[in-house]
Chains A and B, each alone.
Chain A
Amino acid sequence: MTHTATTWLRTFAAAVLAAEPDLTALDQATGDGDFGANMAGALRLVQSDLDSLPPGAADGEVIAVAARVFLDKVGGTSGPLFGLLFQELAAAAGDGLTSDALATGAAKGLAAIQRVGEAEVGDKTLVDALSPAVDALRGCPDDLASAFAAAASAAESGAESTAGIRARRGRASYVGDHAVGVSDPGAVAVGLLFRAGA
Chain B
Amino acid sequence: MSPYFAASPDSLVDDGLAGFALAHADLVHLIPDPGYVTAAAPSPGRVVALVSGGGAGHEPLHAGFVGAGMLDAACPGRIFASPHNRQIYEASRAVAGSGGVLHVVKNYTGDKINFGIAAERLQHDGIRCARVLVDDDLATDSADIAVGRRGTGATVVVEKLLGAAADQGLDLDALVALGERVAAGSRSLAVATAAHTSPATGSPAFALPAGQLEYGVGIHGERSGSTRPLTDPASLVADMADSLVIALGLIPGDRVITVVNGLGGTTPLELYGVHHHLAAALADHGVTAQRHLVDSVVTALDMRGFSLTLTRTDDDLTALWDAPARTAAWKA
Nearest CB in chain A to that of B123: its residue:
A112
Q: Scoring B residues 73 to 101 as 1 if CB is less than 8 Å from chain A, else 0, what string do you get?
A: 00000000000111001000000000000
In contact, B84 and A75 (Cβ under 8 angstroms): yes
Q: Is the CB of A87 within 8 A of B113?
A: no
Query: Of the 9-residue stretches B15-23, B114-122, B134-142, B217-225, which lies at the interface with chain A?
Result: B114-122
State the 8 A-B residue pairs at the shortest beta-carbon distance, nearest first: A116-B116, A72-B86, A77-B113, A112-B120, A80-B117, A80-B85, A84-B120, A116-B117
Interface of chain A: mostly helix, strand, loop or mixed: helix
Residues on B facing A (Cβ under 8 Å)? 84-86, 89, 110, 112-114, 116-117, 119-121, 124, 146
Question: Does A140 count as interface, using CB distance less than 8 angstroms?
Answer: no
Check A77 against B146 for contact (C-beta < 8 Å).
no
A84 to B114, CA, bound (A): 12
CB distance from A173 to the nearest CB of B (A): 9
In whole angstroms, how far apart are the Cα atoms of A80 and B82 in the complex? 13
User: At the interface, yes or no: A91 with Cβ under 8 Å from chain B?
Assistant: yes
B residues near A72, Cβ cutoff 8 Å: 86
B102 to chain A, nearest CB (A): 17
Q: Is the CB of B117 within 8 A of A84?
A: yes
Q: Does A168 contact B (CB under 8 A)?
A: yes
A interface residue numbers (CB < 8 A to B): 71-72, 75, 77, 80-81, 83-84, 87, 91, 112, 115-118, 168
Q: Which residues of A contact B114 (CB under 8 A)?
A: 77, 80
Q: Complex formed: what's the CA distance from A115 to B124 in Å?
A: 14
* Cα(A115)–Cα(B85), bound, Å: 15
Known pairs A112-B120, A115-B120, A116-B120; A71 contacts B86 (CB<8 A)? yes
Question: A70 to chain B: closest CB distance in Å?
Answer: 10
Inter-chain contacts of A84 with B (CB < 8 A): 117, 120-121
Question: B113, A117: Cβ atoms under 8 Å?
Answer: yes
Chain A residues with CB under 8 A of B110: 77
Q: What is the total of A-B residue contacts with beta carbons within 8 Å?
A: 38
State whether A87 touches B121 (Cβ < 8 A): yes
Determine whether the beta carbon of A87 is less than 8 Å from that of B116: no
- In the assembled complex, the CB of B259 is this many whole angstroms from the nearest CB of chain A, namely 29
B85 to A71, Cβ gap below 8 A? yes
**Is the pair A116, B86 in contact by a Cβ cutoff of 8 Å?**
no
Docked complex Cα distance between A117 and B121 (Å): 14
Nearest chain B residue, comparing its CB with the CB of A111: B120
In the assembly, what is the distance between CA of A96 and CA of B199, in Å?
A: 51
Contact residues in A for B85 (Cβ distance below 8 Å): 71, 80
Residues of B within 8 Å of A77, CB to CB, are: 110, 113-114, 117
**Cβ–Cβ < 8 Å partners of A115 in chain B:** 116, 120
Known contacts A71-B85, A80-B85, A168-B146; A91/B117 CB under 8 A: no
Most buried by A among B114, B119, B124: B124
| Distance of A84 Cα from B86 Cα, bound (Å) | 12
Q: Is the CB of B124 within 8 A of A87?
A: yes
